[in-house]
Structures are given as structure tokens and as C-alpha cells.
Amino acid sequence: MRSVDLRDVAETERTVTAFAATPNGGLIVPAGGLANVHRNLIIALATRLRLPAVYPFRFHATDGGLIAYGPDSIDPHRRAASYVDRILRGEKPNLPVQAPTKYELVINLKTAKALGLDVPPTLLARADEVIE
């Protein structure tokens, strides 16, 4: 495993291309930073270079990424409503920070086909969403 710091488009292209040159390689794209800013570029490069990649949010898979696995982006907002309710009812606002509790797995079968990958039925069965 190798960690890289993406700063600009040229570096992103070099890095993804280098990962694609590694036999049996793959890419894990972390949340935040320039990985989100350049997500369309990363997705396009990974697909063009036939590099399997896992992304942190659902929108990556809907934008063409192979697999997204990460926290549900709506759930924290739903849970925050209960905190607002408790504060409005008079509770002191020193409530604990809540970690994500709901994670979602999204698989893009169109991208898998473009990469020449067969996704096992057991993985498809566990997915919260399959894009065909």
C-alpha cells in the first residue's frame, strides 16, 4: 500500500497512471481534499486505464466509479435533528459527537464490465445499490 498527496491535475494523472502500471494493482480513494475536487478526473483515468478503484461516497459510483463504500451522507443529518430537538427542549448543548453508524456499498456494474471484471454474486447481494 502506498499513500500519495494529490496537489494538482498533472500530479493526479501521473499518480493514477503509476498505480495502473502495477500488476494486479488497485486504487483506494480517500474522502476529502483534492480527491473530491478531481473525482471526475480520477474516475475517468481509472476507467480508461482499467484500474479497479474503491471510493468513499455513493456519488463516486453514480459518477462512474467501480465501487463506493462509506458512511451514508444523509444519516448524520437525520440524527442531528434529534440533537436540535433536545437542545430546543432545554438540554445543555454539550452532547457527544456521533460517529457514522450506517455505511453503504454501491457497485457500478457498467464500470465493472468496462474494466472486464466479474463481480461475485455474494458481493452484489450485500450491496445497498447496484448500478446497471
Could you read off the pLDDT of 52-90 as tens digits, one per residue?
999 999 999 999 999 999 998 888 888 888 889 989 999
Is residue 13 predicted with pLDDT exceeding 80? Answer: yes
Beta strands in 11-120 (DSSP E): 27-28, 53-55, 67-71, 103-108
Q: How far apart are CA 106 and CA 28, in angstroms?
A: 15
The residue among 100, 93, 112, 46 whose CA lies nearest residue 71 is 100
